Each structure stands twice: as structure tokens, then as C-alpha cells.
């Protein structure tokens, strides 16, 4: 027997249907998605604001450091100028020719019967001027292919007792530290008292008779001029001076 509900339709209890009951879950899902999107938007917005704040702080710090660097600029320029000047001084010192050592070496290599009347040097490699040599021929450049181009040169004028001493002097001048070539410009015999000047064959290069060297045992001495060419300056420390040239033990 079937039960019959005598209540009017409007008073009967509602029974959920399958199609209409799922709409509540859909609505909850949509609300949850909206909530998650809102939370994500808030986090993203906070991250953007934080990045903007950090960017502003970085710009302020960069401006501060730039002002600090500008205030320290003169000190940096001074340090740069100092470094450049120190470098220039070291370069000049490395290119300096040791004339003190040269004079010491000359005192050791010159024979006892030879003495100098003048000496001049040129660190630029050009021909050295020879003051006080009236009538003497101008120094001629070295023709040796081994002579260092641009190396220092030394011009010596002196007197010797005879031609053999002049030859010995030329050989000994090659012993000077760094000497690459030695040339003889002229060697002229002085004028004898009461006679005309007598010149040796070596004077045919243009040298004239010179009575300024005096006489030895009544015989006129010889006046000569020698040119010494040294190897170019390299800036390296010079080698130790040999004992024969006055170097240390």
C-alpha cells in the first residue's frame, strides 16, 4: 500500500535534486579562486612596492657614493700625478750615463805618458763638441757598423809622447765599460823650436800642428783627438766594474 501525503504542495518538505544541489559547490569554488587571486595580487603588489623602495634606496646610495667620489677626486688626481712623476724620475735615472765611473775608468786606462787637455760627452749619441781645440778638425761620426745608434759618445783631446803611445791609448780606450767603438780623428806632432811644423802621416786627416802639448826630452809631443762611442742606454743596471777599471774586489 502506498503512503499518500495529504499536505498541500507548498507545505511539503523540499527534496534536493541532483542538478540544483551542485551549484553551491561551484559557487564556493569560484569564491575560493577569487580569494586566491586576491591574495596573489596583494603579494605581487607588495613585492613591487618593496622593489621600488629598494630601487629608490639604491639610487640614493649611488648619489651619495658619487658625491663622495667627487669629493675624493683631487686626492686621486694627486696620486696619479705622483705615480707619473715617480715613473718619469725612474726612467730618467735608468737612462743616466755614469760619468763618475767613466772618469775613474779613464784614470786607469790612460798610459802614463798620455794626458788629456779636454774632454766632452754627449748622451744623445751625437758628436761631442770639443772646446778649446782651435784649428782641429771636427769629429767624424764612427763608421763602425757595430756602433750603437743613439748611444753616448765621448770626445777626448790630449797629448802623447809619441805615436806609439797614441796607438796604445786607442787600444786601452776600448776597455772602457760599454765602449763599442773607438776612432782617431787626428794625431799631430807639435812644432819644434825654430823649425816648421812636422806632421806625421796620421795628421793627413785634417789635423794641424799643435805646440800646446810641449816637448819631452827636447822633442815635440803629439796632439791627438779620439772619439769613443758607447752602446745605447737600455735602462738596465750596469754590469759590475772590473777590478782593472777600479771596480770593487
For 135, the grid coordinates are 784649428
> Using 50, 70 and 90 to split pLDDT, how confident is the model at 243?
low
> pLDDT value at position 164?
92
| 99-131+148-234 CATH fold | Alpha-Beta Plaits (3.30.70)
28-to-16, 18, 25, 32, 33 alpha-carbon distances in Å: 18, 17, 5, 6, 9
pLDDT confidence of 193, banded at 50, 70, 90?
low
**What's the pLDDT tens digit per position in 59-74?**
999 998 888 888 877 7
Q: Which residues does residue 233 pair with via DSSP β-bridges, in sequence order? A: none
pLDDT of residue 166: 93
Q: Residue 27 pLDDT more than 60?
A: yes
Q: Where are the domains of the chain?
A: 32-93, 99-131+148-234
* Residue 4 confidence (pLDDT): 77
Q: Dump pLDDT digits (tens) for 155-191.
A: 999 999 999 999 999 999 999 988 899 999 999 998 7
Residue 77 has pLDDT above 90, yes or no: no
Residue 19 CB burial class (10 angstroms; 0-12, 13-18, ≥19): exposed
Least confident of 15-19, 73-77, 104-108: 15-19
Closest by CA position to 185, among listed 160, 202, 169: 202
147-182 as b/e, with b when 16 or more CB fall inside 10 Å? bbeebbbbbbbbbbbbeebbebbbebbeebbbbbbb
On whether the CB atoms of residues 187 and 163 are closer than 8 A, the answer is yes
Percentage with pLDDT > 90 across the chain: 22
Q: CB-side exposure of 126: number of CA atoms within 13 Å?
A: 5
pLDDT band at 122 (very low <50, low <70, confident <90, very high): confident
pLDDT score, position 129: 42
208, pLDDT greater than 80: no
Half-sphere exposure of 205 (CA within 13 A, CB side): 15
Q: Which three cell numbers stand for residue 100?
A: 763618475
**For residue 242, what pLDDT band results from cuts at 50, 70 and 90?**
low
Q: What share of the chain is helix, strand, coil (3-state, %, to 5)?
A: 45, 15, 40
Q: Is the pLDDT of residue 146 over 60?
A: no
d(CA 126, CA 198): 32
Q: Which tops the pLDDT comparison, 130 or 169?
A: 169
- Per-residue DSSP letter, 197: B
Place of cell 770593487: 248
In this predicted structure, the answer to whether residue 198 has a pLDDT above a threshold of 70 is: no
Amino acid at each position: 500500500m502506498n503512503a499518500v501525503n495529504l499536505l498541500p504542495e507548498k507545505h511539503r518538505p523540499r527534496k534536493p535534486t541532483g542538478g540544483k544541489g551542485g551549484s553551491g559547490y561551484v559557487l564556493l569554488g569560484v569564491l575560493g579562486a577569487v580569494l586566491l587571486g586576491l591574495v596573489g595580487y596583494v603579494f605581487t603588489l607588495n613585492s613591487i612596492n618593496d622593489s621600488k623602495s629598494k630601487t629608490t634606496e639604491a639610487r640614493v646610495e649611488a648619489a651619495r657614493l658619487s658625491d663622495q667620489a667627487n669629493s675624493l677626486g683631487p686626492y686621486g688626481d694627486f696620486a696619479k700625478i705622483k705615480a707619473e712623476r715617480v715613473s718619469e724620475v725612474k726612467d730618467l735615472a735608468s737612462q743616466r750615463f755614469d760619468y763618475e765611473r767613466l772618469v775613474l775608468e779613464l784614470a786607469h786606462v790612460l798610459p802614463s805618458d798620455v794626458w788629456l787637455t779636454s774632454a766632452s760627452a754627449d748622451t744623445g749619441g751625437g758628436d761631442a763638441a770639443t772646446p778649446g781645440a782651435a784649428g782641429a778638425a771636427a769629429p767624424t761620426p764612427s763608421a763602425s757598423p757595430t756602433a750603437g745608434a743613439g748611444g753616448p759618445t765621448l770626445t777626448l783631446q790630449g797629448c802623447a809622447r809619441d805615436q806609439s803611445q797614441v796607438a796604445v791609448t786607442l787600444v786601452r780606450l776600448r776597455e772602457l765599460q760599454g765602449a763599442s767603438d773607438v776612432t782617431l780623428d787626428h794625431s799631430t806632432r807639435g812644432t819644434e823650436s825654430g823649425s816648421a811644423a812636422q806632421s806625421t802621416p796620421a795628421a793627413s786627416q785634417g789635423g794641424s800642428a799643435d805646440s800646446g802639448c810641449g816637448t819631452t826630452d827636447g822633442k815635440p809631443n803629439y796632439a791627438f783627438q779620439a772619439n769613443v762611442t758607447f752602446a745605447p742606454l737600455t735602462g738596465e743596471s750596469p754590469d759590475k766594474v772590473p777590478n782593472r777599471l777600479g771596480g770593487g774586489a
